[in-house]
Amino acid sequence: MPKKDQKNPSGSISPDSDTKPKLSFKERLEAFKNLPRFFKMIWETSRSMTLGNVLLRIIKAAIPVVMLWVGKLIIDEIIFQIDNPAHDFSMIWIYLAMEFGLAIISDLINRGITLLDGQLGDLFSNKTSVKLIHHAASLDLHQFEDSEFYDKLERARRQTTSRTVLMSQVLTQVQDIITIAFFAVGIIAFKPILIVILIIAIIPSFLGETHFSEASYSLTRSWTPQRRELDYLRFIGASDQTAKEVKIFGLAGFISDRFKRLADQYYEANRKLAIKRAFWGSLLAIIGTGAYYGAYVFIAMDTVEGKISVGQLTFLAGSFLQMRNMLQSIMNRFSQIAESALYLQDLFDFFEIKPDIRQADSGLPIPNPIKRGFTFENVGFQYRGSENWSLRHLSFHLDVGEKLALVGENGAGKTTLVKLLARLYEPTEGRILLDGHDLRDYKLDELRKNVSIIFQDYMKFQLEARENIAVGDIEGIENQEHIETSAGKSLADTVIEKLPGKYQQMLGKRFLGGVELSGGEWQKIALARAYMGNAQLMILDEPTSALDARAENEVFIRFAELMQGKTAVLISHRFSTVRMADRILFLENGQLLELGSHEELMELDGKYAGLFKLQAKGYV
């Protein structure tokens, strides 16, 4: 069942709190299991860059502790030379040169890492987006009609670009852990107690961070439907497609009020959490700072008592401070990584969604030519989540070479019927046969190639004119001659001739230099798609509703000529068009009411004849 936004009694929209209950620590840890898969994807994106990145980070990990150690040597040497009457500077120069060299190497490595992170991130994001497009295309139409699915899609889409940060987070984490291990060795060698103090200092703030990132993830996730609605409101409030109606109906206030109400609620929920997080974060950080100065007292006393040198004091104090900062960021990053890994789950979840309508493993090839045609056997269809039958008890045969017109009132089930023919949906009951075999037994991709549908709500792609036609058979996109022939057949050629860029003209106003077409002009372009492919069954769903009477007549005369011997289904509300068909199927409430040629149905004097006469008089 599509999940509706929940409304509380006061009418305000509340987050979908049951989408995901609060996550336990265990669940958060479990999210880490996504990391290997994530890194596998990164590795597959570019092996050399991943390897280079890791190597640079390993080198980088050792640099801070080496620098600090050289710093210790410099100070001890200086103090030694102060007491040495000869003032031998040679070792000091060497140590300083080493420190300088290390600083330069560190800087270069940093830049290398940033560069590789950026490049890998971009490549990863591109690759995931491509995968997302392909996966979304493999899913069923009914999945797109489910609001929960949309939420998943939305979350996944966000992940394709934002998850690249996760990669550098994890790698930096590993790098910092190695550095800390180096520091720890140094500290343990001189003053093991410091490590204990350090851990005590860090734990509270780690727990705090973990708690708040968990809360933040739950909040973001539970608000997905509302954020989607916010995006939608932003879109309808400011887009080329809606601008006309927003102006004419004066909808700006309505849309912005609705946006504001929802955005304020989200802001409020976020704000509370952000304030709490800031408060507790600062408090817990004070504990860490206190521990640092506590440790300082220990080392200072040891130095004064002569147990360690001044150089060791700077080394230990420096190590402790850097370790503390690093541990703090490791802990914080740990919860960020856990959070990111949870979001990653959304991406993987989306990739896990499988279509119901799949190609049979050893699917039959579509017969060429089709010999007997399509047979509906007691077909019934219900959309998911709907109680009503959009089609019921439908039995008829569509012969090869036949031109069948589907007529019926709005919502009678005409479009649904043709969607079933292309297996965009499966019948809920009964079956559809092609040359005696169930449609499900055929290869799905071949079926789709052989059943071409131009929908009434066809897509106006903001692409070039030639591309808008080529989408009918995208493999033919480079075949300009074929594109032009198809345009000629649908009368789109006359439209394109008038465009400044001709076939290369960008259509729609979204991109630079684009030209908008009239409804009828768009329809002629869309109609040309039907002539691009080599489908054996051609379906036109109200393809001429926006054409003027003369153009419509011409389109149909051509269509009839061009479809000689081919099977075609035509949906139209204009009976002057419909009568050209060999047979007419009259649907009412999803059921077959009348079926026969124009003459037969007129003779029957039923619903069809009644409506035909009404239209002839000019009433409908």
Ligand X SMILES: Nc1ncnc2c1ncn2[C@@H]1O[C@H](COP(=O)(O)OP(=O)(O)OP(=O)(O)O)[C@@H](O)[C@H]1O
Which residues of this chain interact with ligand X, rule CB under 6 A? 145, 383, 386, 390, 408, 410-416
Smallest separation, CB 439 to ligand X (Å)? 18
Q: Which is nearer to ligand X, 197 or 405 (CB)?
A: 405
Smallest separation, CB 131 to ligand X (Å)? 26
Measured CA to CA, the distance from residue 268 to residue 274 in angstroms comes to: 10
Smallest separation, CB 402 to ligand X (Å)? 20
- Give the three-class secondary structure for 4: coil
Look at strands 374-381 and 567-571 and give their pairing. unpaired
Smallest separation, CB 410 to ligand X (Å)? 3
Q: How far is CA 593 from CA 116, 381, 408, 420, 596, in A?
A: 67, 17, 9, 19, 10
Smallest separation, CB 414 to ligand X (Å)? 4
Smallest separation, CB 384 to ligand X (Å)? 7
Smallest separation, CB 619 to ligand X (Å)? 18
Q: Which is nearer to ligand X, 387 or 481 (CB)?
A: 387
Q: Which is nearer to ligand X, 64 or 413 (CB)?
A: 413
Q: How far is CA 108 from CA 63, 174, 260, 326, in A?
A: 12, 19, 47, 21
> If you ran DSSP here, which 8-state letter would residue 503 be given?
G
Smallest separation, CB 419 to ligand X (Å)? 8
Q: Which is nearer to ligand X, 506 or 540 (CB)?
A: 540
> Across-strand partners of 379?
394
Q: Which is nearer to ligand X, 408 or 476 (CB)?
A: 408
Q: Which is nearer to ligand X, 330 or 417 (CB)?
A: 417
Tokens at residue 280, please? 């507790």
Q: Which residues of 102-139 are buried (b: 16+ CB within 10 A; e: fewer)?
A: beeebeebeebbeebbeebbeebbebbeebbeebbeeb
- Give the three-class secondary structure for 574: coil
Measured CA to CA, the distance from residue 258 to residue 251 in angstroms comes to: 11
Tokens at residue 488, please? 């000629």
Smallest separation, CB 459 to ligand X (Å)? 16
Q: Which is nearer to ligand X, 42 or 407 (CB)?
A: 407
Measured CA to CA, the distance from residue 435 to residue 138 in angstroms comes to: 26
Q: Which is nearer to ligand X, 5 or 145 (CB)?
A: 145
Q: Which is nearer to ligand X, 70 or 420 (CB)?
A: 420
**Where do runs of H (alpha helix) occur along 353-393?**
none
Smallest separation, CB 142 to ligand X (Å)? 7
Whether the upstream peptide bond of residue 21 has omega within 30° of 0, thus cis, is: no
Neighbouring CB atoms inside 10 A of 568's CB total: 23
Measured CA to CA, the distance from residue 501 to residue 482 in angstroms comes to: 18
Q: Which is nearer to ligand X, 362 or 410 (CB)?
A: 410
Q: Which is nearer to ligand X, 188 or 614 (CB)?
A: 614
Measured CA to CA, the distance from residue 362 to residue 171 in angstroms comes to: 45
Say if residues 262 and 42 touch (Cβ distance below 8 Å): no
Q: Which is nearer to ligand X, 57 or 414 (CB)?
A: 414
Smallest separation, CB 385 to ligand X (Å)? 7
Say if residues 453 and 533 touch (Cβ distance below 8 Å): no
- Give the three-class secondary structure for 591: strand
Smallest separation, CB 427 to ligand X (Å)? 13
Measured CA to CA, the distance from residue 55 to residue 45 in angstroms comes to: 17
> If you ran DSSP here, which 8-state letter would residue 330 be given?
H
Q: Which amino acid is at 119?
A: Q
Smallest separation, CB 573 to ligand X (Å)? 7
Concatenated DSSP letters of 236-305: HHS-TTTHHHHHHTT-HHHHHHHHHHHHHHHHHHHHHHHHHHHHHHHHHHHHHHHHHHHHHHHHHHHHHT
Provide the terminal-to-terminal Cα distance of the chain, rounded to the nearest Å: 37
Smallest separation, CB 55 to ligand X (Å)? 53
Burial class (CB in 10 A: 0-12, 13-18, 19+), 458: buried
What's the CA angle centered on 372, arms 368 and 373, to 5 degrees? 80
> Across-strand partners of 396?
376
> Across-strand partners of 408?
587
Q: Which is nearer to ligand X, 373 or 413 (CB)?
A: 413
Q: Which is nearer to ligand X, 212 or 425 (CB)?
A: 425
- For 35, phi then psi, to 5°, come to -65, -45
